[in-house]
Chain A
């Protein structure tokens, strides 16, 4: 049976950076009701770089794992990196095929992070 990659299942079962981030600089709630995915992400910056990321909510294996993987990947990077990421880049980061029908699942965490970055004051 062609099951999701080991790494995806690992992040689904043991999501990293789960929870509310105290004193976050930005947060954003993204909902995909047609699938039942519902995530809120938190960002904290230091010296213009991302110092901490967390997320809470629920979703399928792909949406949860993708959000968890992104929460590791963007640590220490500039918020602009979040805005720059597209589906292709996300695909290679996740290391799995993302079928058309699962694109929304894969993208929900990235969309939430991008929403959080967009809500930051321009000076941040």
Chain B
């Protein structure tokens, strides 16, 4: 693979006298120059509110924003009318819960999640559980990261199941889930499906027609775009039946003193001035990834993963959470004799950025019987040399804690 490190200005960052080793990509990815330029270009040359006002700046900004919607739609195989720009994954799930959920769910209805969900795909449903007396059911996860078949079967045959809201990849176990069969089984029963692609979208090419889901959510910032940008895909037929969530400018066709009518299409869910520059930069990020080629990125990540796992095998005091098949380049570790928080702090002193904690997946950590783990999450711009440095640093660190 060509070396793309020069595309990411942050990789030139140093901490004290150390090179930056950025292993926290699952938290947020670094931004390439083309994304930063898209942001700059918007503010330096256009800077206008969109869909409002017949001036040339507003027209330019609107065209850029709608071009970005087209790029995102192409990126995941959707139509532009199915792409709602959001502030991120969390906003997308909340929008579905509040708009679709509050309209359609009755007390006793069931929403199914997996034990591997991020809090963003748990808490909005817990809120509905409290306000609408719905129930949550979890698909349990085995130690190797895969779903427990009996638990999956129980969920798919649950009589009151109305929505399956499921992650495509665990941000802790690193497991990537092939969801097609599960989504098809739900669909066959008339159950709607939501896919949380926050972790997966950056690693696997996504096609919503192939997945055949009703909703799909992800954040821009994990996809090399700015934070505060994000996408909610809603299948067109479902979108048409959903009431708006937030009310305000942009989502209406007409407002009178005592009534309003709602815009059609995704703008129904884009009340208020949106994160225009974020959406444009997200479009630029999608184009950047398509220029490299997602297959090329996937191949490189697989090489890095294989190298990481090979190195890992020589340290018996490191325990990897999850299995080794269908894995993202994301590794959550439990370290004998070293608390993850200390490890992350002290690795940081060596310029290595990782994350420690429960990674916003407390129910999963509870089910694994651990309170925290150290997570190294890689991107295609990371290197084997950085992996060597990570393990060598961790080894030194642990020794200093031994004596």
Contacts and interface: CB of A to CB of B under 8 A. Distances in A.
A47 interface: no
Interface in A33-81: 33-38, 58-62
B180 interface: no
B340 A1 contact: no
A1 B345 contact: no
B342 interface: yes
Interface string A75-110: 000000000000000000000000101100100000
B358 A60 contact: no
A58 B372 CA distance: 11
Contacts of B124: none
A61 B357 contact: no
Given A36-B357, A60-B342, A1 B372 contact: no
Contacts of B371: 33, 36, 38, 58
B211 interface: no
Contacts of A61: 339, 342, 401
A45 to B, nearest CB: 31
A2 B339 CA distance: 17
Contact of B401 (A9, A62, A105): A9
Contacts of B341: 35-37, 59-60, 62, 105
B362 interface: yes
Nearest to B393: A1
Contacts of A60: 339-342
A3 interface: yes
B356 interface: yes
B242 interface: no
B401 A35 contact: no
Interface in B349-403: 349-350, 356-358, 362, 370-372, 396-397, 400-401
Q: Which of B340, B342, B350, B362 has the most chain A CB atoms closer than 10 A to its own CB? A: B342
Contacts, number: 51
A13 B341 CA distance: 16
A12 B340 CA distance: 14
Given A35-B372, A60-B342, A3 B400 contact: yes
B58 interface: no
A36 B346 contact: no
Contacts of B362: 33
B345 A34 contact: no
A36 B340 contact: yes
Nearest to B365: A36
Contacts of B350: 1
B346 A59 contact: no
Contacts of A1: 346, 349-350, 396-397, 400
A102 B345 contact: yes
A62 B350 CA distance: 19
B401 A36 contact: no
A60 B397 CA distance: 14
Nearest to B371: A36
B130 to A, nearest CB: 20
A60 B344 CA distance: 11
Contacts of B345: 99, 101-102
Nearest to B348: A101
26 contacts: A1-B396, A1-B397, A3-B346, A3-B400, A3-B401, A4-B342, A12-B401, A13-B401, A33-B362, A33-B371, A34-B358, A35-B356, A36-B357, A36-B371, A37-B341, A58-B371, A60-B339, A60-B340, A60-B341, A60-B342, A61-B339, A61-B342, A62-B341, A62-B342, A99-B345, A105-B341
Interface of B: 339-342, 345-346, 349-350, 356-358, 362, 370-372, 396-397, 400-401
Given A3-B397, A36-B339, 18 more contacts: A1-B346, A1-B400, A2-B349, A3-B400, A3-B401, A33-B362, A36-B340, A36-B356, A36-B357, A36-B370, A58-B371, A59-B339, A59-B341, A61-B339, A61-B342, A61-B401, A99-B345, A102-B345
